[in-house]
């Protein structure tokens, strides 16, 4: 379920008797130019991932197979959003703490980002994240 402050984007789904196709075009369906794409899969049962925020990087997460929950916290609001359809995408804006939980065994979580990997862009400590929010 989506919350108003963490809106899920419905991606265009097309298809016919041969099957389905979902489109995510930069600056149309994805609200930024895509500079990096990665996917998370093979996550062992009970394992959670994420546990960070980014200073500048914007991302768009799509569960292309299976399902997982994303817990989002922007310092004002917290919500858990279930991604379980390849035509639903969750924007992850800068300065939003995010965690991924409850991966199904067949989960493939695809993430598109507007920047290349940069360790300096990460905030990996939740207390540091909340302290930083009070200074901006």
What is the C-alpha separation between 134 and 136, in angstroms, rounded? Answer: 6
Q: Would you list the domain boundaries of the chain?
A: 9-135
Span 90-108, average pLDDT: 97
Is the pLDDT confidence value at 20 over 80? yes
Residues 32, 33, 36, 42, CA torsion sign: positive
| DSSP per-residue codes, 17-61 | TTEEEE---BTTTBSS---EEEEEE-PPTT--EEEEEESS--EEE
For the chain, the average pLDDT equals 93
CATH number of 9-135: 2.60.120.10
Enzyme catalytic residues: 52
pLDDT, one tens digit per residue, over 50-92 is: 999 999 999 999 999 999 999 999 999 999 999 999 999 999 9
- Of 89, 108, 84, nearest in space to 29 by CA: 89
């Amino acid at each position: 379920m989506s919350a108003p402050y963490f809106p899920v984007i419905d991606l265009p789904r097309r298809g016919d008797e041969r099957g389905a196709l979902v489109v995510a075009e930069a600056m149309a369906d994805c609200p930024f130019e895509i500079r990096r794409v990665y996917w998370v899969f093979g996550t062992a049962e009970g394992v959670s991932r994420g546990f960070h925020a980014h200073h500048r990087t914007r991302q768009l997460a799509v569960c292309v197979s299976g399902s997982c929950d994303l817990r989002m916290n922007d310092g004002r609001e917290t919500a858990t959003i279930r991604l379980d359809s390849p035509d639903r995408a969750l924007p992850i804006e800068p300065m939003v703490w995010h965690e991924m939980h409850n991966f199904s065994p067949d989960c493939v979580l695809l993430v598109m980002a507007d920047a290349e990997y940069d360790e300096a862009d990460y905030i990996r400590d939740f207390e540091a994240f909340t302290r930083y929010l009070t200074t901006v």
